[in-house]
């Protein structure tokens, strides 16, 4: 791509290149298809919800160092999201309880969007 762009356009196609560290398993070995030691997305989705996988990648990925993936990061993310779900559930129940005890009427059509993704 670089040489084709230089040949046809006469300039580089981009100014900056973003590189990240190697993807390694929990033992510190390089993950690759040839070594067959990678984590397959199909296996992850059988065990964990997509929100857990997203949270694991967000919490445990840093561009400036090697990335170690293993089952432990998905378990940590699952526990974290479970705690968040419990907090949201408690808050919504508390709000509903307080809403019922108020002297004036509040419109009942309000939907808590934050809880809908937690209750999957």
- The model's pLDDT over 24-68, given as tens digits with 9 standing for 90+, comes to 887 888 888 888 887 888 888 999 999 999 998 888 877 777 778
Residue 113 pLDDT exceeds 60? no
Is 60 exceeded by the pLDDT of residue 112? no
Whole-number average pLDDT of the chain: 79
| pLDDT for res 102 | 62
pLDDT digits (tens, 9 = 90+) for 66-86: 778 888 889 999 999 999 999
Report pLDDT for 3.
85
- Please tell me the distance from the alpha carbon of residue 64 to that of residue 45, in angstroms, as a whole number: 27
CB-CB contact of 5 with 13 (8 Å): yes
Alpha carbons 27 and 23: distance in angstroms, whole number: 11
């Amino acid at each position: 791509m670089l040489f084709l762009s230089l040949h046809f356009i006469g300039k580089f196609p981009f100014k900056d290149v973003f590189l990240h560290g190697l993807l390694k398993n929990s033992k510190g070995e390089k993950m690759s298809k040839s070594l067959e030691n990678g984590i397959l997305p199909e296996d992850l989705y059988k065990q964990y919800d997509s929100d857990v996988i997203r949270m694991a990648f967000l919490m445990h990925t840093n561009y400036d160092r090697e990335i170690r993936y293993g089952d432990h990061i998905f378990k940590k993310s699952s526990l974290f999201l479970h705690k968040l779900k419990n907090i949201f559930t408690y808050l919504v129940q508390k709000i509903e309880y307080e809403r019922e005890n108020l002297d004036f009427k509040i419109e009942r059509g309000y939907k808590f969007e934050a809880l809908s993704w937690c209750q999957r």
